[in-house]
Amino acid sequence: MIESLSEKIPDDEVGALLRVLHGQRRHVLGILEGLDAEDLRRPVLPSGWHCLGLVQHLALDVERFWFRAVVAGDEEVVRTLTSGDEAWRVEPGVPAADVLDRYRQETELADAVIDGTAADAGPAWWPHDLFGEPHLHTLRDVLLHVITETACHAGHLDAARELIDGRRWLVLTT
């Protein structure tokens, strides 16, 4: 999974945020373990999205976008960004394993950007056409934003998984 870099996380503020992000990433992948390709593509909510599309969205519109484009300003990534809901659509011929592997790869690339960036560093690039003036001003801000978005989508995956086969990630009872 994503544990490969956890031993290298520094014991500082960014390290604390990265540990939380790693937990959310594990949640995303963990709640999907055991689902076959058909179930990963099965829409269970009225919006019609499916688990695999959500993971691709996290890979491309979240990890890739916020860390490699916004934080690092990677010109190749910026040049190839899509708009709209393209990332949510997984072509029928794309194997589920490829989408899950892409997510893992993008998280590793994002971690490399995080590792090489100071907590107070500002964005290297900002999508003014999408968001106007910057509202995330540092790596710290971007990390908090990505943690929130990943946690929100992990919750969506929890609901989808429960509708698919009843499995729940973590249920605390009193």
Boundaries of every domain in the chain: 3-165
> Average pLDDT per run of 10 along the chain, which is 174 residues long?
51 92 97 97 93 98 98 96 90 97 98 97 94 94 98 97 92 59
Half-sphere exposure of 163 (CA within 13 A, CB side): 15
pLDDT in the model for residue 131: 87
Per residue in 116-144, pLDDT tens? 999 999 999 999 988 889 999 999 999 99
Under CATH, what is the fold of the domain 3-165? Four Helix Bundle (Hemerythrin (Met), subunit A) (1.20.120)
pLDDT in the model for residue 159: 95
Q: What is the pTM of this model?
A: 0.91
pLDDT in the model for residue 150: 98
Residues 128, 131, 134, 139: is their CA dihedral positive or negative? negative
Between CA 59 and CA 174 the distance in angstroms is: 35
